[in-house]
Structure 1
Amino acid sequence: MVVERSVALMDNVLRNVTALENGVADFEDMVFSSVEEDPELSSLRAEDSEAVRLRKVSQRLQHILKTHVRDYSSKSKQLASKYGRPSRLIRYWIPAVIFILSSSTILRILVNRKAEIVTWIQDFGTTVRDFWSNWIMEPTKKVIGTIRHDKDSAIAIMSKESLKGDRDSLERMVVDFAVDNPNSATNGNAPLSEAQIAEIRLKVKEGDLTPVLRAYEKDLRQPFVGTLRGDLIRALLIQVQKTKVDVEVALSGIDSLLKSQELVFGFIGLTPGVLVCFAAFRYLGGVFGSRRGLRRGRKAGQTVRVLRNIDRILTIATPTQENILSYKDHGLLLCEVHILRQGSSKLFPGDIEREFLEDVNDLCNINSGIQQQLKTLDRIRWGYAKWLK
């Protein structure tokens, strides 16, 4: 009789579940009383054979599938269309009316400011294009050129051959001065030998201008005479050239430092454009993804409420002698779990969804006992808290 009563219960539930005028308590009383007074159950006699019982149950199941399930689906759709979300016409008729009434004003504004609007659009496009070209593409090309040691991308504050030319010029000036004034170089009037000239060249490369400085010191004793008859002006000009070489040596050191940090400067030049692009794409992603995030947050909120309902069912349930849920509480639990399964496909990633469904199956296992089900519910809460926020 258990199977027959279950089929009769299913039949009466499908008949009366769409009757909204009855409350939950009245619905339960009506369903169970209908089962007790079910005429088909009353027609079953104890002496009926097993084949007769199976035939009657199968006929009733076929009738339920062909008639009651179809009627239940159609009535459910009617109730959903009647009491569910209204149509687009009802939801948006106020904004549509406002737009229609103000369309002439909007059109007149657009026509009167057509040239300005076109100019704004063109300026915006030009700004975006120039920004992309000058602050993204050009710095990127420079960084790539620096990595490849491209000559055009090298950072320099002086030409490559400038120092060499000025140093060679200083060397020739000092050598010519020493040849013309051998007494300043060797304290004698004998012509300089090739070895002495080579030694002077070596000292000039090291920054030693002793022959010039000796003549300069000598002529400074009598500046006027040294200017007219001596080599004071020549020595002074050689020292000016020496100062120029020293400045270029210092600049060469700075130039070497800059060249060693070319890649750093390239990335510094690229950073502002990258940051602006990142902020722009992040903002646009937030604008266009806000609806998706809103739907996801709403789905997470619904899942949390379903978990709350499951917790309430397990907490206030009256267990049987075997410490398992009664049929009523088990049915309520299955309804909530069904809603939970439907929402998991859009809330969790693939692997996480599979693990979540495993925990949900453990939650539905009434043979494990209410305490074990409560522990499973707690595991679901802390294990998937990241996606339920």
Structure 2
Amino acid sequence: MHGEGLATPSEGDTVHKWKTSMAHNVALIEAVLAKASDSDLNIDKFEASINEFTDDDPLYDLYEAEGSITVRPTTVAERISRVLSQSLPAYSAASLRAVEEHGRPSRLVRYWLPATLLVLSSSTILRILVNRQAEIVTWLEDLGTTVIDFWRNWVVEPTRKVIKTIRHDEGSEVSIMSKRSLEGDRASLERMVVDFAIDNPPTGAPLTAPEIADIRAKVREGDLTPVLRAYEKDLARPLAGTVRGNLIRTLLIQLQKTKVDVEVAMGGIDALLKSQELVFGFVGLTPGVLVCVAAVRWLRATFAAAPSSSRRRQEGTRHLMLRQLRNVDRILTNARPTGFGELPYRDHGLLLCEVHVLRQEAERVMPKTGEFCEEIDELLDVRAGVQRQQRVVERMRWAYRVWL
């Protein structure tokens, strides 16, 4: 890169320099493609093998020539055509063979053991299925009925109740007693007290209409003074009060009063339940929804392939991106820069491979913006030096932490 082939040429030597650079690169590309597919070649000896391959190449020797260019453009074009038609297909075929040899085994190799066990135990499995056919059918029917009943009773019905509650459907209101129970018992208590007061006036004279209305108003407020006075009077002589019947009558009226008080207290609880009816509806719906979600997730994890799950695929992509970024940092840290502070050829090639995979994975999870591509281009700029490339990696680590 710092040789004369790519150096800024003088005005009179421009054509000569760029012609030699083109011929040199074509010869070098052909040599790399020829040696890269050699599986017996050691990586440490790769550069020496490339040099040996290009020593006798007339196009490569032009790099050091200072005179006129003797090779015609058609010769260089023929070499480029040979690279495209022969060298690249041969390299692709060699790569595919290497992948087939060292990559994932065939399905026969992977599944021969479970397939063999299945074949050997097929007769036993068939015998069990035939002998227990009725039990299996019954079990499947019970399972289907259980699933349907669970869906109907714990998902559909609670959902319908919640919808009725949101729409203020009176038929869906939560209640622990009937709506007219308290009014009926309170009216009955009022009539019982008024009748007792009319039958047993305090002064002995018949009650007037204003007095009866006053007693009705006091009974509505919970005041049972006429009944309590008669009750206290009969307690002094309980036998006589029992014979006359007033003692038993007052006891029954107080029993009715106790019933009304209990219903008033229950009415307060009933109002509290109605105010929180929507909460209770969602509480009743939650267990069914949780069970359905858990069942769906289990079925998806059991029967769905790993690549078909978007979330798991994205998590795997993030882990792979983080691993690739770690490999890039490792390459830059362990590299021995040249005299110009740049990466050597081997580390530069490894960096290109890791960054290529990183770019492909980033396209799956990151937004379609050009910022990440700019970072990639700056990371691959070998002329910037190793230290600057390391700073680019640090910037990528904190700038794209959300996707990593």
Aligned match of 2:154: 135
Calculate the aligned-residue CA RMSD, in Å. Answer: 3.0
Distance 1:383-1:240 versus aligned 2 partners, 3 A rule: same
CA deviation profile, 1:311-341 (whole Å, cap 9, x unmatched)? 3443344444543334554344323322333
TM-score, normalization by structure 1: 0.86
Distance 1:338-1:260 versus aligned 2 partners, 3 A rule: closer
Alpha carbons 2:194, 2:216 under 8 Å: kept? yes
Aligned match of 2:112: 93
Distance 1:34-1:190 versus aligned 2 partners, 3 A rule: same
Distance 1:205-1:324 versus aligned 2 partners, 3 A rule: same
Task: Give the CA deviation at 1:199.
Answer: 0.8
List gaps (5 residues or longer) in structure 1. Answer: none
Amino acid at match of 1:262: E
Tell me the distance in 1 between the aligned counterparts of 2:348 and 2:258. 98
Amino acid at match of 1:190: A
Tell me the distance in 2 between the aligned counterparts of 1:256 and 1:295. 51
Pair 1:115 & 2:171 matched: no
Tell me the distance in 2 between the aligned counterparts of 1:180 and 1:74. 117
Tell me the distance in 1 between the aligned counterparts of 2:60 and 2:229. 136
Corresponding residue SS for 1:146: helix
Distance 1:4-1:112 versus aligned 2 partners, 3 A rule: same
Task: Give the CA deviation at 1:358.
Answer: 3.2
Aligned match of 2:4: none
Pair 1:330 & 2:345 matched: no
Tell me the distance in 2 between the aligned counterparts of 1:170 and 1:304. 80
2:215 to 186, 200, 207: 200
Aligned match of 2:267: 252
Pair 1:180 & 2:199 matched: yes
Task: Give the CA deviation at 1:111.
Answer: 1.2
Amino acid at match of 1:357: C
Tell me the distance in 1 between the aligned counterparts of 2:329 and 2:269. 73
Tell me the distance in 1 between the aligned counterparts of 2:393 and 2:62. 45
CA deviation profile, 1:18-43 (whole Å, cap 9, x unmatched)? 12122123332121122122145569
List gaps (5 residues or longer) in structure 2. Answer: 1-19
Pair 1:159 & 2:178 matched: yes
Aligned match of 1:369: 385
Aligned match of 1:378: 394
Corresponding residue SS for 2:24: helix
Task: Give the CA deviation at 1:215.
Answer: 2.6
Distance 1:360-1:112 versus aligned 2 partners, 3 A rule: same
Tell me the distance in 2 between the aligned counterparts of 1:43 and 1:376. 37
Task: Give the CA deviation at 1:134.
Answer: 1.1
Moved more, 319-328 or 27-36: 319-328
Corresponding residue SS for 2:177: coil
Distance 1:75-1:195 versus aligned 2 partners, 3 A rule: same
Task: Give the CA deviation at 1:288.
Answer: 4.8
1:234 to 249, 256, 265: 249
Aligned match of 2:85: 66
Task: Give the CA deviation at 1:198.
Answer: 0.9
Distance 1:162-1:107 versus aligned 2 partners, 3 A rule: same
Moved more, 170-179 or 216-225: 216-225
Alpha carbons 2:196, 2:227 under 8 Å: kept? yes
Pair 1:220 & 2:235 matched: yes
Which structure 2 residues correspond to residues 289-300 of structure 1 after superposition, within 5 A? 291-292=306-307
Amino acid at match of 1:125: G
Alpha carbons 1:323, 1:369 under 8 Å: kept? yes
Amino acid at match of 1:378: E
Q: Between the two proteins, what is the percent identity of the paired residues?
A: 54
Task: Give the CA deviation at 1:217.
Answer: 2.7
Tell me the distance in 1 between the aligned counterparts of 2:312 and 2:285. 35
Tell me the distance in 1 between the aligned counterparts of 2:79 and 2:305. 51
Distance 1:178-1:106 versus aligned 2 partners, 3 A rule: same
**Number of residue-to-residue matches in the alignment:** 381
Moved more, 13-22 or 77-86: 77-86
Amino acid at match of 1:20: S
Alpha carbons 1:179, 1:191 under 8 Å: kept? yes
Corresponding residue SS for 1:133: helix
Alpha carbons 1:219, 1:230 under 8 Å: kept? no
Amino acid at match of 2:259: K
Pair 1:147 & 2:162 matched: no
Tell me the distance in 2 between the aligned counterparts of 1:230 and 1:68. 123
Task: Give the CA deviation at 1:57.
Answer: 1.6
